[in-house]
Structure 1
Amino acid sequence: MSQTLSVAQVKELIPNRFPILYIDKVTALKAGKEIIAQKQITYNEDFCQSQPENPHMPGTLVLETLAQAGSILILKSPEFLGATAYIGGINNAHFYEFVRPGDSLELRFSITKLKGNVGTADAVATVEGKVVADCVFTFIVGTK
């Protein structure tokens, strides 16, 4: 894996914008196989402001961030250039630790099966090497 992407390049691929663009950068990408991306969590995030006594990123947003990483991977794959990626399902989601301000969230999305325009992927979110959430995504790639 060697391809990296800045947030500007990410914005060219997926439609998400502030305040729901959660990918800060892609540190590694192997088209059609796997992506590693990062999200820096700050106290200024909207989701931290809504719970000032216990600021953390809700688990649903951790999964959304994993899904955004997956969309980037799918859309950078040669066979799907110009297409649209959709989440078809989330299975076996587990949440182990809170993601808090100051954390660097690393996101790994690995395609495990692809048949036509439907596939599955293992997704894992970590902070300092410790798994904070994981799941299996089913995804669908729309026509170009």
Structure 2
Amino acid sequence: MPLGLEAIRKVLPHRYPFLLVDRILEMGPMSVVGLKNVSGNELFFQGHFPDRPVMPGVLLVEALAQVGGVMMLSKIENKGKVAYLASIDKARFRKPVVPGDQVRLEVKVLKMKSAIGIIQGVATVDGQEVCEAEIMFALVD
């Protein structure tokens, strides 16, 4: 079930410059795959680092969380809720993400109990892992 930017904006509260998902390629009840096209015009490149631009690792984790948020907040029972970040565990950064990269963001649910969930995310560029993390979130009315 692919989703474009307008459909994503109907689900997530994030907006430019902090919306870090450009497209959802596939989505099921327990997994989702999204894309982030990294442009040289991203605001964060102005200071990270001007002569050698690298996407901050925390924003890769945020992109994974946003893709997971699209999946969770698209469910009927979660309509109108907001997903808040609760914790980040086992975050690993393997390779820099630079302007021109297309980041594939794969997320699956590890655990869901009531309004608290844990997702596992893996970000890749050209088939190579650049980031992974386990993210806990809380769904709030």
RMSD: 1.0
State the one-letter code of the partner of 1:132. V
State the one-letter code of the partner of 1:41. V
Give structure 1 stretches of 5+ with no counterpart. Answer: none
Give structure 2 stretches of 5+ with no counterpart. Answer: none
Shift >6 Å, 4+ stretches? none
Counterpart of 1:19? 17
Are the equivalent residues in 2 in contact too, given 1:43–1:49 (CA < 8 A)? Answer: no
For residue 59 of structure 2, the aligned residue among 54, 57, 61 is 61
State the one-letter code of the partner of 1:118. I
Percent sequence identity over matched residues? 32
Q: Does 1:79 align with 2:83?
A: no
Counterpart of 1:139? 137
Whole-Å separation in 2 of the counterparts to 1:61 and 1:39 = 11
Whole-Å separation in 2 of the counterparts to 1:130 and 1:79 = 35
Aligned length: 140
For residue 36 of structure 1, the aligned residue among 29, 33, 37 is 33
Q: TM-score, normalised by structure 1?
A: 0.93
Query: Deviation string for 1:57-94 (max 9, x for gaps)?
Result: 00011111111111111101233222221111100110
Query: Deviation string for 1:84-118 (max 9, x for gaps)?
Result: 21111100110010001110001111101111111
Q: Tell me by how many angstroms 1:130 deviates.
A: 0.7
Q: Tell me by how many angstroms 1:49 deviates.
A: 2.2
